[in-house]
Amino acid sequence: MSLHPNEVLLSPVVSEKSYSLIEDRKYSFRVHKDAHKTQVRQAVEELFGVKVTSVNIVKVPPKPKMRNYRKGTRPGWKKAIVQLKEGDAIEIFEGAQV
C-alpha cells in the first residue's frame, strides 16, 4: 500500500513522556495503521528535512471504557518513535518545555 508522506504521519504525540524523549533526539508521532518503518522514515525525512537514524513502532492497544453503565472501547492506534541524527531537530517540538 502506497501512502503519501502527509497520510503516514497523522499528528505529533503530546505527553510528558514524549517531551522528555526530545532531549535524546527522539520524536513521537501518531501514524497510519498500515504504515511501516520504511514509510515512516521516508515521510519524516521528506516533510522535515532531517536524517533519521532509527524508527520504533508501537501498537497502542484499545482501552475498555464505561460511561453511565454503557460499556465501550477507545480505539487502538499506532505510534512511531523516531530518532534523529546528531545535530538535527524538528521545529514544531522546539517551543515545548516540560
Q: What is the pLDDT of residues 28-84, one digit of tens each?
A: 999 999 999 999 999 999 999 999 999 999 999 999 999 999 999 999 999 999 999
Q: What angle do CA 41, 32, 81 make, to 5 degrees?
A: 45
Confidence check: pLDDT of 27 > 70: yes
What amino acid is encoded at 27 in this protein?
Answer: Y
What pLDDT is recorded for position 96?
54
Residue the block writes with cell 497523522: 10
What pLDDT is recorded for position 97?
54
Could you give the domains of the chain? Answer: 5-86 (3.30.70.330)
Q: How confident is the model at residue 5 (pLDDT cuts 50, 70, 90)?
A: confident
Given a contact cutoff of 8 angstroms between Cβ atoms, the answer to whether 15 and 42 are in contact is: no
What amino acid is encoded at 48 in this protein?
Answer: F
Residue the block writes with cell 503519501: 4
pTM of the full predicted structure? 0.85
